[in-house]
Amino acid sequence: MKELRILQKLRAGDSLGLEALMDAYTSYVSAIVWNILRGALSPEDAEEVVSDVFLAAWNQAADLKPGHVKGWLGAVARNKAKRKLRDCQSALSLEDDILDIPGPDSAADEAERMDERRRVQEAVDSLPERDREIFLRHYYYAQTVREISAAMGVNEATVKTRLRRGRLKLKETLTKGGFSHEAEDFRLA
């Protein structure tokens, strides 16, 4: 079904229009949502976000314009996925599986990687609470400086300064702990 026809059906309240829209764009919307959530939430949460995107399309069918539907859906998917992350992660914490440091598969290497992960987590945890929140929002939750600024009520320059300070503190902490060659590989730019 062509996009114009889909939009006509949506605007008329015909559920076949919504089905056609979902058939055409579910994989696109799902890819955006999963890219943002990156496994941080359950598959059910991701499916809920995807459903919310199409519900928004249904409710705002009058706003959809032929030739711009894909872009509109993409923008709504990004916004809803980011909002879901923020809502579900009220207490920002660094989980064990976030920092996956690659290496050989031997048991000794696995133990070393676990130790490295622990040290990186401790380094992040050693940041002052406000700096740690900014750091995690940016590097783990993929929020932009502008989004962090708006969410936390601080100006963008302050966010950038705290991110830089956090990177320097991590580098210093990891280098002091005998982690110097890995710290060079652990780029946080």
- Ordered mean pLDDT values, 10 residues apiece, the chain (189 residues): 86 91 91 82 86 92 89 90 76 45 58 77 84 81 83 90 86 68 42
In the chain, domain spans: 3-88, 107-185
CATH of 107-185, one of 3.40.50.720, 1.10.10.10, 1.10.420.10, 3.30.470.20: 1.10.10.10
Q: What is the pLDDT of residue 54?
A: 92
Q: Do domains 3-88 and 107-185 have the same CATH topology?
A: no
CATH 1.10.1740.10 applies to domain 3-88 = yes
Instruction: Give the DSSP H or E segment for 131.
Output: helix 129-139
96 near 117, Cβ under 8 Å?
Answer: yes
CA atoms within 13 A on the CB side of 125: 10
